[in-house]
A and B are shown apart, each in its own frame.
Chain A
Amino acid sequence: MATVTDDRIAADPTAVGPPRSRVARFVEAWPPSVLLALGWIVAMLLIAASVEWIAGYAYTAMDLRARLSPPILFGGTERHLLGTDELGRDVLSRLLYSIRMSLLIAFFGTLIAATLGTFLGILAAHFRGWVEDIVLTMIDFQASMPFLIIALAVLAFFGNSLILFICLMGFHGWERYARISRGLAIAANEQGYAGAVRQLGAPAWRIYGRHVLPNIASTLIVSMTLAFPETILLESGLSFLGLGVQPPLTSLGNMVGYGREYLTRAPWIMLAPSAVIVLTTLSISLVGDWLRDRLDPTLK
């Protein structure tokens, strides 16, 4: 992989010139925007891992005497740094718990979609014929319907629970992994290494699991990074509509949805989670684009 990057730089006419300083090379490899984005993602992950210890209040704890108290910079008290909501619940603590919930849902959703899609893609590449036709028809169907509509229909028919909701997120975007892994597995099958292992008598699961998958993993990881923000947006959109994560549990979209009722009197309830959604999706997209350019220039 490193040689690919070096070749690209060498082929780029602007790269020819006097040797540049270490700082310039470092900035080129790790742009400041990517570093900031990575910093934000690490902070979010740390919050998600340690929320019980750092949140000042439980996310359901009410303080009815301090309802709709503003954030500290807008005349609030230091007991509630980001203010409180209509039931006197601490916005900061709820925000921290929401970050964990939204990240967990998006993480498992993306993981399920990637596993399912890769499995179906490899299945299609292995069997070809009618199996491939079925998988391709399913891909066409999934890609031709807006996923939000399918998700809403499933929620209407089955009702809502957290497990079902996470599984539903796992159906978002599986067709992209299926397409990519099918294409790559077909290409890999025609290469020498897969044929060599097959000649040695390795069973199919071993060829795909131990040899083909590691070779296509970087492309799949890049796709997962690019799909992750979409899953966050989908989850927060559904929760905003009141059809995703249900109270008393809380997620970022859920907080925006409830904060909307108090838009005129207490905009901070809605602004704090909105800012976290935007910054998190922005950071992951930036890192995803950067990873794609570094690991896999073919995926444009």
Chain B
Amino acid sequence: MLRYLSTRLVRALLTICFVVTFAFVILRLSGDPALLILSPDAPPEAIEAFRKSWGLDRPVWEQYVRYFGAIAEGNLGRSMRDGRPALDLVLERVPATLALTIPALILKLVIGIPAGIYAALHRNKLADRMTMLFSVAGFTVPSFVLGLVLVLIFSVNLGWLPSGGQDSWIHGILPVITLGTAGAAVLARFTRSAMLEVLGQPYIRTASAKGLAWHRVVVDHALPNAAIPTVTIVGFMVGSLVAGAVVVESVFSWPGVGRLLVVAVANRDLAVVQTILLFVAATMVCANLTVDMLYGWIDPRLRTRRVAGAG
């Protein structure tokens, strides 16, 4: 178990290094950072001073090492627009995003998982077909279309709910529903196929052949096994809590991290973009690590299996 966890930890660190390298490489490939961050018509002395202070006059490998050092110290640069540290800008937007994505995650879990299990247990019945129809719709209707149609119905035509902003919890209803419905559809589809896969296994037939009541077969044998793949996708959803609302925040003018990212990309505010990229990578890696630990708990085979085979 310890070896299993330590390989996962090394892999997590490697992923973080990979993201940092990715940011470094595209930052260097995109042109001279001095010209990008200052403007091309800045005085030559200012550009020279900037290069020196950022170490841009050093060889590439030294820049790379310094870049790692700066990030390890939490020095992610300043926003081009108002000169504040990029990390502060990002951190102060996190609560607003979580205020949308956590209720949406609960909505996804509460609708998606029971719907998927129910559909799998009633395969090819009406309930199953309705669930699949809903899940296909959830997959093919982009969130900005769903959001705008909800605004058109509930804000413009009926006048029941506000169409954007963040003044009260009522403003959060439409964005949470938009986010939650699409995710619930994905989760329902995923849970259903995981359940169907498990229900087709020989041990399920054995369990019901030995006379076990069907609900016991489902609760004791099918659900724990179907939980393994489902945990992976839920982990991905938890990992994208911070960045999962880019489009929806833009539709509803919700001042979260996603909205900040879109504005920063449009203005090419590189320090902020880079900070969000690393922040998202860190949350994804933490979520994946948690999922890996949960695996060890849900699936006893992983605790005893040799690391070489764990892949």
Asked if A149 contacts B26 (CB within 8 A), the reply is: no
| Cross-chain contact A264 with B140 (CB below 8 angstroms) | no
Q: Please name all residues of chain A whose beta carbon is closer than 8 Å to the beta carbon of B5 when the two chains form the complex.
A: none
Interface centre among A152, A156, A236, A270, by most chain B C-beta atoms within 10 angstroms, is A156
Q: What separation, in Å, do the CA atoms of A260 and B136 have in the docked complex?
A: 25
Residue pair B136, A146 in contact (C-beta under 8 Å) = no
List the A side residues contacting B280 at CB < 8 Å. 145-146, 149
Min C-beta distance of B259 to chain A, whole Å: 10
Q: Is the pair B145, A146 in contact by a Cβ cutoff of 8 Å?
A: no
Binds B, one of A57-65, A67-75, A112-120, A136-144: A136-144
| In the assembled complex, B193 has its CB within 8 A of some CB on chain A | yes
Among residues of B, the one whose C-beta sits closest to the C-beta of A136 is B311
Given contact pairs A152-B265, A229-B140, A256-B148, A264 touches B277 in the complex (Cβ within 8 A): no
Which of A158, A241, A260, A267 has the most chain B CB within a 10 Å cutoff? A241
Q: With A157-B30, A256-B145, A278-B145 in contact, is A141–B246 under 8 Å at CB?
A: no
Partner of B152, one of A141, A159, A267, A286: A267
Within 8 A of A (CB), among B139-157: 139-145, 148-149, 151-152, 156
Residue of B23, B151, B247, B277 with highest tally of chain A CB at under 10 A:
B277
For B141, the closest partner residue in chain A by CB is A278
**In the assembled complex, how far is the CB of residue A109 from the closest CB belonging to chain B, in whole angstroms?**
16
Residue of A146, A256, A263, A274 most packed against chain B (CB within 10 A): A146
The interface residues of chain B, by DSSP majority, are classed as helix
Chain A residue nearest to B311 in the complex (CB): A136
Interchain nearest-CB distance for A124 vs B (Å): 13
Contact residues in B for A181 (Cβ distance below 8 Å)? none
Q: What are 29 sample pairs from A and B whose C-beta atoms fall under 8 A apart?
A: A144-B15, A144-B239, A144-B284, A146-B244, A148-B246, A149-B280, A152-B246, A152-B261, A152-B262, A153-B23, A153-B273, A156-B264, A156-B268, A156-B269, A156-B270, A157-B26, A157-B273, A159-B30, A236-B144, A237-B142, A237-B144, A241-B247, A241-B262, A242-B262, A243-B266, A278-B141, A278-B145, A281-B142, A282-B136
Ordered nearest first, which 4 A-B pairs have the shortest CB separation? A157-B30, A156-B265, A281-B140, A156-B273
Query: Which residues of B line the A interface, CB within 8 A?
Result: 11, 14-15, 18-19, 23, 26-27, 29-30, 136-137, 139-145, 148-149, 151-152, 156, 193, 197, 239-240, 243-244, 246-247, 250-251, 261-262, 264-266, 268-270, 273-274, 276-277, 280-281, 284-285, 288
Q: Which residues of A contact B (CB under 8 A)?
A: 137, 140-141, 144-146, 148-150, 152-159, 229, 233, 236-237, 240-243, 253, 256-257, 260, 263-264, 267, 270, 274, 277-278, 281-282, 285-286, 300
